[in-house]
Structure 1
Amino acid sequence: MSIPDRALLDWVEEAPTDRGLHFAGPGDSWEYHSYAELAELVLRTAEALRGAGVRDGEVVAIVQRSSPGFVATFFGAIAAGGTPCSIPPPFAFQRGAEYEAHAGHLLATARPAVVVCDQEAQQTVAALTEGLGLPGPLVFDALVEGVRPAPRPYPAAESALLQFTSGSSGASRGVLVSHAALRANVTAMRRWLGWRPEYPGITWLPVHHDMGLLGCMVNIVTTGCDGWMMQPEDFIRSPLRYLRCISDNKVGLAAMPNFGLAYILRRVRPADLEGLRFDAVRSVILGAERIDEQVLTRFEALLGPHGFDRRALLPAYGGAEATLAVTGLPLDEGWTSAVPEGDTGDAGRVVGCGRPLEGVSVSVQDDEGRPVPDGVVGEVVVRGASLATRYIDDSASLSGTELAGGELRTGDAGFLDDGQLYVLGRLGDGLKVRGRMVFAESLEARLHELGILQRRVAVLLGHHQGLPTGVVVLEKPDADWVERALPVLTEALGDAELLVARVPRGGLAVTSSGKPRRRVMWKALTEGRLTGEVHRPAPV
């Protein structure tokens, strides 16, 4: 059966009553909302936003957690002729000052006509909007109270979405995505996955992140399948609840970064899975960060005895400037790993991220913009129907990513092998050693294999005080982490200077989705502002 091309609001006119979204509640409870109920709420929200002053193409900033209200505000902004922009709510950040700086930057860049938030976020968000001279936030429940639904969606704006890059290489940048690009990318993802209404989906990813927003929520709703929606903290609190939900409801589709699989492996024992079955799982999309082949193997070993098929693990690659997905491993192929041409094995094997999706082309190019042969490392370059329109400001980015002329120069290093893309890391997060490039993400993957916890370590590479330098940043490290890390860096970096930075809890700079902000930390190091203790270790 072919997968139809559907516009973003088609589901509103065809909303069924027998399928919908299940939102995680306290304990093991779930709150169900049929698509018919959600469609009515979307049209109420659209009318409320028009009443609040939203006009054609104006930005609606959404500072809400995953909820029926978020779904209604996102699609309601589109139905009102506006352009939604999802901004993380305060819970996503541990420290208030960090949240204020990040969310303040996003709001200042987006300049929304209306800001919609949850009740618990109102006070924090109001302080930000007041300081920026923006309209005060509207609490969702009050916004829609007593409003009659619009009879139909208003004419669509030129841009369907304003979304922000992760900011792993500096400040997040806003990109505008057209309706055509968003529709093309969502359709390409659904066709890649063979996603039909009879296959339920599940997600715990935050809806302010493109993988959680577009890869999960928008795809689930657009497809019209049953969706099981958890908060990130629900998953962190009990990954077993997540797995039980998959088993009990025969969930077919899921998505998460490598960190999610690793977390399940740390928290779930084989005995915990007694009586659970995972035969229905067709695809677990893996993206947002480098994938560890050992984690995949161990995850297969944990769930395999309960019917899980290794071919359901689908590594993928994408980014905000490409709307979301660029490549993905085809169903039933099975993941593989490889090393680039001439690699000695120091960087470890790289898990393939699949092949270009429908309507997308990928090449790997040298510094002069010429395609390189298979196996040779270069910059990943993307073209296709799902590229974002443009950045919303002209500020420079530390990332090296460029979007112009129908082409996205990603700033990522990778290579092709038999049509499959293998991504090594950011071009600016590497160091040339003995005539070849070594990438920070490759070294971090090796450290994770040695038991140094993901999201508590980062490797920084560059030239410091005129010398090639590698820095391992450890957040509140265990006693033996330095001892484990130094041989890896010494072997990979040769005669480069080595530094160890021990930082306190929260001292590792990360994006809202948990990626290390390596260049931000590098800049702080070179300016003497890096929090914690930095020293040159004794030779190994």
Structure 2
Amino acid sequence: MDGQDRAAAAGSPLTDWVHRPRPDAAVRFAGPGDGWDEWSYERLAEGARRVAAGLRSAGTADGDTVVIVEPTGPRFIQLYFGAMVAGAVPVPTAPPAFGQDLTGYARALAHLVGRAAPRMVVTSAALAGQLAGLVPQPVPVRVDDDVIATADPGPCPGWAPAELAMLQFTSGSTRAPRGVRVPVPALEANVAAIAQWLRMRPEDPTASWLPMHHDMGLIGCLITPVVRQSDLWLLSPEQFVRSPLRYLRCFGVHGARLTAMPTFGLEHVARKVRPQDLEGMDFSAWRAVIVGAERVGTGAVERFVRLLAPYGLDPRAILPAYGLAEATLAVTGLPLDELWTSVPLDPRRVVLDGPVPLAPEAGGALVGSGRPLDGIRVAIVDRDGRELPEDHVGEIVVDGPCLTDGYHNEPPDADTGRRDGPLVTGDAGFLHDGQLFVLGRIGDSVKVRGRTLLAEDVEAALESAGLPRHRQTVLLGMRGDRPTAVVVVEQADPLRLEAAQGLVGRVTEGADLVFVRTGVGTIPRTTSGKPKRRELWRIFLTGQLTTAAAHSEDPS
């Protein structure tokens, strides 16, 4: 099939906007100060067509991968969609963060480039010199402006998306990042399911501060609104951290209605914004705050709503959700106009393949992650793959048109992730009243006296004791023949830490419990804020974490 025939057969709603841009909508990027840099869809589309032409003239062929290393900005959008239009496979990649150790970044980038095997790496002029010394040879590093400047921004006849919409590298929270092969139909299906879930209309503006390089920020808050050509307000994560109030103005002043973030975002807003800062704002049109990427804490939700509700935020706008890269992004989400719910859970009695230990007196609560989106099926199975009834804990299994096509260029002896059937996620959870409740990663658990201790349960106990989630994490595993829980806390308040020790000791009863106090920045995290527990566990086993307090709950 030649290019012209493939264009006719493989045209995608993902790239239709590049050829027919809407003249009356724009993407706005947060600039220095309080200003915004506005880019119309017509201007973005012209740049995307230039990228497509530039990539083809540089020798990029159908199905070639192109690594994109760009900060939040218009060039990222043009390069991502331009690569698709050219028939290439974009590989979105985070640039080095301010102050980041370049040794670690170089190692991660070399791993990614080795797996992606790209035709080229495209980046900004500001980063090109830096990356040229980090990208393994002989992969060329091209400057984005050079790719665009030499090309004719015409209609790109004969060019259409490749079979893959992109390689989406996993966050690396449990193992080295892997390139998930996202077929065009899977991305189309997930974008359509998200739009249907949120009842998205072209006139519904979105605002986001999430990184543009990974699933929640990329698909939920960039691709979906861009494909629908909605008004869009984008800040970088650093801008949000410095000024969450500027992000809130997108909704309370500029009229944005849709967004997504991990629990950390709710916590940061509630911690940094004062009620008097919100005077004059109106959040009554804010329809959806998708909360995902990590287990949703009741405290974070309640504090966020308590701050914004007096200024019009409807508590029903909080939409807990569950998703993963291997299912493109979204799997479940709370329907609009439904109030989020939690169930009382006793983490000391959780057993895989057993009934849910609902126990109001235990004091713990687990927030539901909503119901399966359109076309997606979710089941809970036991160790033998048999489906379990509601209110039984097991492994979450997902099926539907959004499933991806395994991992790209994995070693011959590796699990490639390719599947003919449903996706076995590696996450523990249960169904209750048709809603999915996610307990955590099975790989981040340890068996203690026949029960299953999950890292997320211990972290929830720490949070309830007043230790912020973004300053702590829990590592679980076997040290010798002993189940061990390691609590790592950054810059802990001594009184709160003392209170937490007793509470966590009850949750981890039967395991050796080790508390480690460290400085800020010790806990390695993914771009979505998830702790890299396995990496930190390995560091702990080598003795490189300073142990400030340690005791055994069960020395026998």
Superposition TM-score tier, normalisation by shorter sequence: over 0.9
Aligned to 2:137: 133
Cα drift, residue 14 of structure 1: 2.3
> Which of 475, 478, 500 is the aligned partner of 1:463?
478
Task: Mark the CA change 1:135 to 1:401 in structure 2 (over 3 Å): closer, same or farther.
Answer: closer
Quote the Cα distance in structure 2 between the aligned partners of 1:484 and 1:97: 38
Cα drift, residue 141 of structure 1: 1.5
Contact 2:343 2:358 in 1 (8 A): no
Aligned to 1:75: 81
> Which of 395, 410, 414 is the aligned partner of 2:429?
414
SS at 1:90's partner residue? Answer: coil
SS at 1:373's partner residue? Answer: coil
Cα drift, residue 497 of structure 1: 1.0
> Which of 58, 61, 64 is the aligned partner of 1:58?
64
Contact 1:204 1:232 in 2 (8 A): yes
> Which of 197, 200, 208 is the aligned partner of 2:202?
197
> Which of 233, 249, 254 is the aligned partner of 2:254?
249
Aligned to 2:4: none
For residues 462-498 of structure 1, the C-alpha deviation after alignment (integer angstroms, 9 at most, x for no partner) is: 2211011111012343333531331122101212111
Contact 1:175 1:391 in 2 (8 A): yes
1:103 maps to 2:95: no
Task: Mark the CA change 1:6 to 1:137 in structure 2 (over 3 Å): closer, same or farther.
Answer: closer
Contact 1:402 1:409 in 2 (8 A): no
Cα drift, residue 343 of structure 1: 4.2
SS at 1:281's partner residue? Answer: coil
Aligned to 1:221: 226
Cα drift, residue 92 of structure 1: 6.3
Quote the Cα distance in structure 2 between the aligned partners of 1:515 and 1:93: 19
Contact 2:208 2:259 in 1 (8 A): yes
Task: Mark the CA change 1:114 to 1:506 in structure 2 (over 3 Å): closer, same or farther.
Answer: same
Give runs of aligned pairs for residues 103-122 of structure 1, distance below 5 A.
103-122=109-128
> Which of 516, 538, 555 is the aligned partner of 1:501?
516
Aligned to 1:27: 33
Quote the Cα distance in structure 2 between the aligned partners of 1:346 and 1:105: 44
> Which of 459, 462, 465 is the aligned partner of 1:450?
465
> Which of 471, 483, 495 is the aligned partner of 1:480?
495
Contact 1:112 1:134 in 2 (8 A): no
The more displaced of 508-517 and 166-175 is: 508-517
Quote the Cα distance in structure 2 between the aligned partners of 1:138 and 1:531: 40
Task: Mark the CA change 1:449 to 1:195 in structure 2 (over 3 Å): closer, same or farther.
Answer: same
Aligned to 1:531: 545
> Which of 383, 386, 393 is the aligned partner of 2:409?
393
Give runs of aligned pairs for residues 338-353 of structure 1, distance below 5 A.
338-339=343-344, 341-344=356-359, 348-353=364-369
Cα drift, residue 97 of structure 1: 1.8
Aligned to 1:14: 20
Cα drift, residue 397 of structure 1: 11
Quote the Cα distance in structure 1 between the aligned partners of 2:196 and 2:141: 38
The more displaced of 431-440 and 189-198 is: 431-440
Task: Mark the CA change 1:539 to 1:407 in structure 2 (over 3 Å): closer, same or farther.
Answer: closer
For residues 102-134 of structure 1, the C-alpha deviation after alignment (integer angstroms, 9 at most, x for no partner) is: 2221122111101111122112211122xx223
Aligned to 1:48: 54
SS at 1:190's partner residue? Answer: helix
CA-atom RMSD, angstroms?
2.1
TM superposition score normalised by structure 2: 0.91
Paired letter, 1:358: D
SS at 1:480's partner residue? Answer: helix
Task: Mark the CA change 1:317 to 1:175 in structure 2 (over 3 Å): closer, same or farther.
Answer: same
SS at 1:423's partner residue? Answer: strand
Aligned to 2:6: none
Quote the Cα distance in structure 1 between the aligned partners of 2:327 and 2:389: 24
Cα drift, residue 301 of structure 1: 1.1
Contact 1:200 1:225 in 2 (8 A): yes
Q: How many pairs align? A: 532
Paired letter, 1:145: A
For residues 291-312 of structure 1, the C-alpha deviation after alignment (integer angstroms, 9 at most, x for no partner) is: 1111111211111111100111
1:145 maps to 2:161: no
TM superposition score normalised by structure 1: 0.94
Moved over 4 A (4+): 343-347, 395-398, 400-403
Percent identity among equivalent residues? Answer: 45
Quote the Cα distance in structure 1 between the aligned partners of 2:410 and 2:270: 43
Cα drift, residue 535 of structure 1: 4.9
Q: Which runs of 5+ in 1 are unaligned?
A: none
For residues 176-215 of structure 1, the C-alpha deviation after alignment (integer angstroms, 9 at most, x for no partner) is: 1111111001011101110111111101101112111111
Q: Which runs of 5+ in 2 are unaligned?
A: 1-10, 346-355
> Which of 274, 293, 298 is the aligned partner of 2:303?
298
Contact 1:347 1:442 in 2 (8 A): no
Give runs of aligned pairs for residues 267-282 of structure 1, distance below 5 A.
267-282=272-287
SS at 2:485's partner residue? Answer: strand
Quote the Cα distance in structure 1 between the aligned partners of 2:75 and 2:506: 52
Cα drift, residue 415 of structure 1: 0.3
